[in-house]
Amino acid sequence: MLVVVFLSIIAVSVMEFYVYGVQATIQPGIMPFNTYVIERFIPTILLNTAASLILVVPLRLFFSPM
């Protein structure tokens, strides 16, 4: 279970930094990196962690053999 949550958080982190890099390339002054991490990255990671835990635990119990 923790492996699934960890891999999903890594995937979201990579995608978020990719999106930030593309936006920073197109519009260089859009948002400083520190502001991006505080206002967008940390809340995204926390919400995705909570959502994956909320979904993984019941699904694991549902799909486990009886």
How confident is the model over 42-56, as pLDDT tens digits? 999 999 999 998 988
Domain count across the chain: 1
- Of 40 and 2, the one with more pLDDT: 40
Number of H helices, E strands in the chain: 3, 0
Greater confidence (57 vs 12) lies with 12
Domain range for residue 2? Answer: 1-63
| pLDDT tier at 64, thresholds 50, 70, 90 | confident
**pLDDT tens-digit readout, 1-33:** 788 889 999 999 999 999 999 999 999 888 899
